């Protein structure tokens, strides 16, 4: 403790010599004591606080952990993260966790929710982090960044190559997205459509269990679109898609089974539609709406912040869980009954018809100027009949 003059009180039990000489001699004595080290109670110099020294044999246990063990723990964390903050909070803890957390092995195991970035939070650092994950071999990051670059940033070549990289690693969503690009000729002209390539990619995604690809392939077989017509085989794929959706709901556990209901009156349309999507309405069951992929949700938010349009005259897919925009005018198909909705694929049309559009579709007079649009006809069973201009 110091006095107002800045000097220290003597420590308890210490006898201090009091000087009875003049002020000038006291100053000399003070400097003398400071030099000799006999007493420093009058010293006005700042005393630095010394840090406590570690006891002999004490060590930092975290620093003693091998890097391989820390990386293994971080791999488990990144693969089970439910939001980006779960992983970011680890990176900002210390320098060692930051360097090891950006290891290629950790980034390659990251779950889709680890880089589930909202469109309003998009930045160069977020782009760079997604790029690091993609370079590390994370197929989900390749697919997500590919979709964002292809549709949002309009970098078609880079986006398609990233999706192709994921597709070569048997990523079902990437295969199906490439199939949609081939069906529509996205990023090019109408003459760039390759229906056979789209069917082949769709068949590969369907083989891997992708429900939308199964439904798309079933409609292609029913309509003879890009493949020889086979109505019976097409119906079989549609039933298989519905069965896979039902199996996914049941396997999700009791938390999701309350969505599953049995419709007592099959003639009553849209029973329980507010709670779920009656994709199995032909069989009397209602199942919940599938959760949108983070990349699809990002695109929906991205274009919603831009007045719901990808550019002048360009429309978005009307299915809420899709988010794909047109890359040229009149690229998507529209409903032949009302003409108010547009779809990038037959699968999106079937989903939106069962969930929403069946209750909203109202016949209107046929528009006079088609401008080369493809048309989607909705029948009472929700099947899709394509009228493609030659």
Model confidence pLDDT, tens digit, residues 107-120: 999 998 888 888 99
Looking at residue 203, what is its pLDDT?
A: 94
The answer, yes or no, to whether residue 311 has pLDDT greater than 90, is: no
Mean pLDDT, the chain, whole residue set: 77
Q: What is the pTM of this model?
A: 0.73
- C-alpha distance from residue 225 to each of 50, 217, 277, 329, 387 (Å): 80, 9, 27, 22, 10
| C-beta separation of 118 from 292 below 8 A | no
The answer, yes or no, to whether residue 280 has pLDDT greater than 80, is: no
Q: With b meaning 16 or more CB within 10 Å and e meaning fewer, what string describes 301-328?
A: bbbeeeeeebeeebbbbbbbbbbbbbbb
Calculate mean pLDDT across residues 280-309. 77
Calculate mean pLDDT across residues 26-55. 48
Looking at residue 353, what is its pLDDT?
A: 84
CB-count burial class (<10 Å; 0-12, 13-18, 19+) for 259: middle
Calculate mean pLDDT across residues 176-197. 93
Task: At 199, list the tokens.
Answer: 């069917």
Task: At 242, list the tokens.
Answer: 């519905």
Calculate mean pLDDT across residues 190-206. 93
């Amino acid at each position: 403790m110091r006095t107002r003059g800045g000097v220290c009180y003597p420590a308890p039990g210490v006898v201090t010599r009091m000087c009875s000489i003049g002020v000038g001699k006291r100053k000399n004595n003070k400097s003398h004591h400071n030099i000799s080290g006999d007493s420093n109670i009058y010293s006005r110099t700042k005393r630095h606080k010394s840090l406590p020294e570690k006891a002999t044999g004490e060590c930092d246990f975290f620093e003693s952990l091998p890097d391989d063990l820390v990386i293994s723990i971080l791999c488990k964390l990144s693969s089970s993260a439910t939001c980006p903050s779960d992983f970011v909070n680890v990176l900002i803890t210390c320098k060692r966790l930051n360097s090891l957390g950006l290891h290629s092995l950790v980034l390659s195991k990251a779950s889709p929710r680890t880089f589930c970035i909202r469109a309003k939070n998009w930045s160069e650092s977020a782009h760079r982090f997604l790029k690091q994950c993609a370079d590390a071999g994370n197929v989900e990051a390749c697919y997500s960044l590919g979709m964002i670059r292809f549709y949002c940033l309009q970098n078609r070549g880079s986006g398609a190559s990233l999706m192709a990289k994921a597709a070569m690693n048997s990523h079902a969503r990437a295969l199906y997205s490439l199939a949609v690009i081939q069906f529509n000729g996205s990023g090019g002209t109408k003459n760039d459509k390759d229906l056979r390539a789209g069917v082949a990619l769709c068949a590969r995604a369907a083989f891997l269990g992708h429900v939308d690809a199964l439904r798309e392939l079933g409609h292609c077989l029913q309509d003879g679109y890009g493949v020889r017509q086979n109505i019976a085989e097409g119906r079989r794929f549609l039933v298989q898609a519905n069965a896979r959706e039902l199996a996914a709901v049941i396997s999700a556990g009791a938390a999701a089974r309350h969505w599953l209901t049995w419709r007592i009156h099959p003639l009553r349309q849209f029973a329980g539609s507010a709670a779920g999507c009656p994709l199995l309405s032909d069989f009397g069951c209602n199942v919940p709406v599938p959760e949108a992929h983070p990349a699809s949700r990002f695109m929906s938010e991205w274009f919603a912040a831009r007045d719901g349009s990808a550019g002048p005259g360009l429309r978005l897919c009307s299915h809420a869980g899709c988010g794909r925009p047109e890359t040229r005018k009149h690229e998507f198909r529209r409903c032949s009954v009302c003409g108010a909705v547009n779809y990038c694929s037959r699968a999106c049309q079937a989903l939106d018809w069962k969930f929403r559009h069946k209750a909203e579709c109202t016949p209107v007079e046929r528009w006079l100027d088609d401008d080369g649009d493809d048309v989607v006809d909705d029948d009472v069973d929700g099947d899709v009949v394509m009228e493609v201009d030659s």
